[in-house]
Amino acid sequence: MELGITTFAETMPDPVTGETVSHGERLRQVVAEAVLAEQVGLDVFGVGEHHRPDFASSAPAVVLASVAGRTSRIRLFPAVAVLSTDDPVRVYQQYVTLDLLSGGRAELLVGRGSFTESFPLFGYSLSDYDELFVEKLDLLLLLAREEVVTWSGRFRPPIEARGVYPRPERPLPIRVGVGGTPQSIVRAATRGLDVALAIIGGNPERFRVLTGLYRRSLVGSGFDPEGRSPAGPRPRLRGGERRAGCRGVLRLLRLCDGPNRAGAGLATHDPESIRSDAPSGGFVDGGGSRAGGGEDPALA
C-alpha cells in the first residue's frame, strides 16, 4: 500500500479569522506541504487544476516542478490535468519535462475535471464534452508511443510527421481519473489504462461495482488485469481469456467487441444490469448520479 495527498490549492476564508490568503501565498504553502509530505514518508503528492478564484493552481506542472526542486523521493502528479481543454502535445511535453527534472518521479493523471470553467475559458463547447476527451486522450497515447507523429482530428490542427520533444528517459506513467460513470471506466479499460477512482462524495462502497466493471472490461478488451507495465497499456491476453472476459462485460455493459469500437462510441450501458450488481445503498447510472442522492463529477 502507498499513501499520498492531493490538494486543489484552495483559497477559502479562514474559519477563525475570516481572512483569505493570496494566490501567491497559497501556492508557496502548497510547495511547503509537499516538502513536509516527503519528510513524513508519504509516497505521492498531487496538485489539481482549476481556473476559479477560490483555487490557486491553474498550472499544476509548474507547481510540481517547484516541488521537484525541493524534494528527492516523493512522486508527483496532477490531480487531474484537464486534458479536454488543453493541448495533448503541451501536456505530454510538460510532464515529460517534469519527469526528466525530477529524476523519474512524474506521473500523468488526466481527466475531464470536476468543474467546467475551463471550457468557455479556452473556447470549447460543453456539447463536445465526451468527444473532446476521447480525441485528446488518444492523441496523448499516440505521443507516448511514437516520437514522430502524423495525426488529424476535429478539435486540433493536424500534425504532419512532426517530432514531439523532449523524449522521456522511461515510459511516462499515464492514468485516467474517473469520477464514477461506467462509461469512463470502460473508456480507460478498453485502452488498457490504469484508473484513479475519485471518491469526492457519497458512499465509497458503491464504487465496488465499478472496480468489477473495470476488470471485466480489461479482460474483454484483451488486457491482463493482473499484468503491470511502467506506463501505457497493460499486457495483452490470449484470445480465449479475452472472450471469457467479454461475456462478463456484456452482463454489466453493452460493450462493443474490441477497444476501437468501444472506445469510439462508448456503447450505452444497461442500467438494469449495473443495478443488479451494485451494492446496497446506491448504484451508478449513465449520468453519474447515485440513487439516494448526489451526483459524482465525471473526471473522465
Q: Which residue is associated with the grid cell 471550457? A: 119
Give residue 265's pLDDT.
Answer: 31
Residue 63 CA to residue 61 CA, distance in Å, equals 6
The CA-based diameter of the chain, rounded to the nearest angstrom, is 64
Question: Which residue from 197, 299, 215, 295 is spatially nearest to 252, judged by alpha carbons?
Answer: 215
Give residue 153's pLDDT.
Answer: 98
CA triplet 266, 268, 272: central angle to 5 degrees?
140
The 3-state DSSP class for residue 276 equals helix
Q: Is the separation of the CB atoms in 254 and 265 below 8 Å? A: no
What type of residue sits at position 264? A
DSSP 167: P
Q: Is the separation of the CB atoms in 191 and 223 below 8 Å? A: no
Give residue 227's pLDDT.
Answer: 73
pLDDT under 70: residue ranges of the chain: 228-300
Question: Which residue from 287, 274, 48, 108 is spatially nearest to 184, judged by alpha carbons?
Answer: 287
Give residue 163's pLDDT.
Answer: 98
Give residue 226's pLDDT.
Answer: 83
Residue 158 CA to residue 139 CA, distance in Å, equals 11
Give residue 289's pLDDT.
Answer: 30
Give residue 205's pLDDT.
Answer: 79
The domains found in the chain, sorted by start residue, are 4-172 (3.20.20.30), 205-300 (no CATH)
Give residue 295's pLDDT.
Answer: 32
